[in-house]
A = this chain, B = another copy of it.
Amino acid sequence: MSFDRTPLMRRLGGAVPEEELELFDSLGRIGKKYAIGHDLGEECRADESIMILQHGWTMTYKILRGGDRQVIDVNLPGDVLGMRQILFNYDDYRIEPITEVFAQKMPADIILRSLGKSLEIAAQVMWAMMSDSAFSPERLVSMGRREAPKRVAHFLLELGARLDRVHLSNKNGYLCPLSQTDLGDILGMSAVHVNRVLRDLRERDLLTFRIGKVKFHDREELNRYAEFEPSYMERRLH
């Protein structure tokens, strides 16, 4: 895999015939910068297009009546954004950059048409879209049945695995722009408790979360502790 490729290509790479990959990727080479505060979902909805994140992170979230925020999805380079906003009426969901972001936009019907181009591409695109974290049932398992420390550990491991697919992570950790407040709104807990849980995990020498940096001390032990089984993120079918 050469490195002038976009993150999406790095994710799709491998099984797809070379020309088709090039074709598909070339559809939206032209990208644009977006600043913190801009709602990417609104833009997708407005002109029925999707976006492919090239650089930077975004979060998809909803604000409840009482002011609480729930993050649905953390979007990483290579992720496909906006498909939900186009297919459904999610008016009150925002997709907002955490850092400055670079993304390419393309009309939704190009994606939908490309599904017909080849069976392989169809499977790949479906896979890319479904594998975004909101679609990961493990989030539901965590929220429903894992206590806070395991929930945090599991999520950070999952993020690591997702970043790994686009070569933005290594075995010891990764750069992570999330605040403790963000973490709380992702995992359904208060920022204060996130803080205590992180201290706990640090003192038990499992992982360190600090100023945009996640560091794993004992990954094996961590996997066991959080019941993290990375295999569920891998592709089957060919």
Contact = CB atoms under 8 A, between A and B. Distances in A.
A144 B70 contact: yes
A140 B132 CA distance: 14
A114 to B, nearest CB: 9
Interface in A126-148: 126-127, 129-131, 134-135, 137, 139-141, 143-146
A72 B116 CA distance: 30
A233 B231 CA distance: 31
A93 interface: yes
A231 B145 contact: no
13 contacts: A60-B137, A62-B137, A64-B227, A65-B227, A87-B126, A88-B233, A89-B233, A89-B234, A109-B119, A113-B122, A116-B122, A130-B130, A134-B135
Contacts of A117: 116
Contacts of A127: 87-88
Contact of A187 (B91, B130, B144): B144
A112 B116 contact: no
Q: How many copies does the complex hold?
A: 2
Contact of A112 (B108, B119, B139): B119
Interface string A45-84: 0001000000000001010110011101100000000011
Given A65-B227, A115-B122, A135-B134, A88 B145 contact: no
Interface in A84-102: 84, 86-93
A237 to B, nearest CB: 6
Contacts of A231: 89, 91
Most B-side CB within 10 Å, residue of A64, A65, A88, A113 = A88
A90 B113 CA distance: 29
Contacts of A112: 119, 122-123, 126
A229 interface: yes
B87 A137 contact: no
A220 B188 CA distance: 27
Given A140-B70, A229-B92, A231-B91, A237 B86 contact: yes
